Every structure is written in structure tokens, then in C-alpha cells.
Amino acid sequence: MTGRIFIDKQSPKAYHALVQTSEAVRATAAEAGLGRIVVELVNLRVSQLNGCASCLDVHTRASLRAGEDTRRLGVLAAWRDTGLFTPLERAALALAEATTLPADAAAQEAAYADARAVLTDDQISAVIWVAVTINAFNRVSVLSKHPVH
């Protein structure tokens, strides 16, 4: 026993609101032309940065179901050092990292400038919303110490 409560179970109305937000964000991303793989790459990279094992498990499986390649998943933590990701994916990943680590103002400005060169305004907004939402889920899981089954 960890002494932690599962805040999603303790406060189900709040958690349900977060799930509804996530569903709206997925729809927004699809409407902006971002495929499921891009969304899952953002979910995974943010979860890596936050050390959320539960979300990494969920979104690795979701990525594979969406058709993602295991090789790319294996190098995602070092995406900048590979040629395996498209310019759109690279822009989304950099923007997701800047959203997750907002204290690095220089990285945030660089990521936003790179995103402007590749992504539409709708796509930039969608990527930021995906990153914001998975950051929230990461906090729920990390602070609740959700297990990986």
C-alpha cells in the first residue's frame, strides 16, 4: 500500500470532466488534420518527460494500434537525433516539450517558431491542447501512483 489515493476514483466528476476534455481535444486534433500517430507521439513524449509509467503504457499500446513503428517508439526520447520523424512530427514534439517545460523560455520561443514554419494555426493550437491534456493525466497518474498492469 502506497498510502496514495486514486484521485480519479476519489473525485470522479472532476476526472470525468478531464476525460471529456481529452475527447474534445482528440476531435480538435483530427479536425486540424493531425493523425492519431502524431497525437500519440505527443502523448508519449510528454509522458516520458513526466515519468508517467501508466500513461506510457496506455499510449504505447494506442500508438501501436494506430500503426506506429516500434523502431520509432524506441528512439522517441532522442527524436532530435534521428531522421525518423517528419518535419510535422518534429514540430509537434518540440512544441509539446515546450508546453511541458514552460520555464525554458528560449526553447519555447524556438519551438513556437519552428511550429509556425510547419504547422497551421489550428494544428499549433491542437498540439498545445494535446500536451496540456496529457500533462493533466500524467499528474493524476503520477500523484495517484497508478500501477502498470
Tens digits of residue pLDDT in 27-62? 999 999 999 999 999 999 999 999 999 999 999 999
Ordered by start, the domain boundaries in the chain are: 15-144
pLDDT score, position 21:
98
pLDDT score, position 149:
85
Instruction: Quote the CATH superfamily of domain 15-144.
Output: AhpD-like (1.20.1290.10)
What is the reported pTM?
Answer: 0.95
Distance of alpha carbon 39 from alpha carbon 29, whole angstroms: 7
pLDDT score, position 2:
56
pLDDT score, position 62:
98
Angle, helix 121-144 to helix 105-118, in steps of 10 degrees: 130
pLDDT band at 3 (very low <50, low <70, confident <90, very high): confident
DSSP letter at 102 equals T
Smallest Cα–Cα separation from 34: which of 128, 113, 104? 128
Residue found by looking up cell 516520458 in the block:
48
Hey, what's the cell of 31?
Answer: 479536425
**pLDDT per residue as tens digits for the range 64-84:** 999 999 999 999 999 999 999
pLDDT score, position 112:
95
Hey, what's the cell of 125?
Answer: 493550437
